Amino acid sequence: MLETEHTFLSDAPTASAGGHDSAGSDLVASIVGRCRDTRALIGRCEPLEVHVVHQSRKNLKKIRAGIKLLSDADGLDLVEANRLCRDVGRLLSELRDTDVCLLTLEGIDPGLAYFGDLAEKLRSRRVDLHDDRLPDDAAYSEIVADLQAVEAILGDIDHGHIGREDLERALRKTRKRARKRYARMDAGGNPHAYHDFRKATKRELYQARYLGADPQPGGRLEQLDRLGECLGHNQDLIVLKQMARELGAFDDRLAALIEDERSTVRAECRRLAADLYGRDR
């Protein structure tokens, strides 16, 4: 599996050959490197294996987090770059949802003693999706073209003047947004609040990693990672429920298992979120 973190900043500002803070240029180089990693990862695997789809989607989220960090740091117009990344993610999303449903189902029904039929439907769905969309030459070409376009957009912007302080200020904006989404989640009543909060916390995590934050045990990065996994599991359970209904395999037993698991997961999400984004944080 190709996995490169592309973390580039130390505690001290990075200096270019001319003695200037080159943090913005370093960030662009890091994002472009991840775009190239993603193209290589997808292009050398046919058919697309589970870990390739997962890692590619993860890479795209990290690329988008970096793009947002750049945009917030200097008001750069990077809407098109973000849209292109989102389009690539959508080409992979149904495969990823099917893979996640299988893994989640195995987690709540080890050995698939009760839901073997649903598991088989999910496996068949993945085969059908793959035959319909990948390794379709047009889909591969679109992925490559979109990522290359992102690289070109980043190569054309004026980023040399963006320093570490600008990026750290942008990260604080991200954290502030996440805190607002936490408040909405904590207030209840919004069915999408957990998912929206998850996206905000993942963005903070990925941006902090770009900035070279210290991954000390028990530190903020580790807590963000744990919270993101917990919120992700909650979302996976929602997707499993939706897909089981689509496949005509949703029954009372599965409904009870999913709701019991979500109750436990959400309690843990709230506990972790309060530690990171509570009133006094």
Bin 219: left if φ > 0, else alpha if -120 < ψ < 50, else beta: beta
CB 185 within 8 A of CB 198: no
Structure tokens, 62: 């990290």
- At 276 the pLDDT is 95
Question: pLDDT tens digits for 83-119?
Answer: 999 999 988 888 889 999 999 999 999 888 899 999 9
The whole-angstrom separation of Cα 31 and Cα 66 is 6
Residue 168 scores a pLDDT above 50: yes
Lowest mean pLDDT among 117-121, 185-189, 191-195: 185-189
User: Which residue from 124, 119, 115, 126 is spatially nearest to 102, judged by alpha carbons?
Assistant: 119
Exposure string (b/e) for 192-217, b if CB count within 10 Å is 16 or more?
A: ebbbbbbbbbbbbbbbbbbbbbeeee
Question: pLDDT tens digits for 110-166?
Answer: 888 899 999 999 999 988 887 665 556 777 888 889 999 999 999 999 888 999 999
Angle (CA) 145 143 120, round 5°: 170
Return phi, psi of residue 21, to 5°. -65, 120
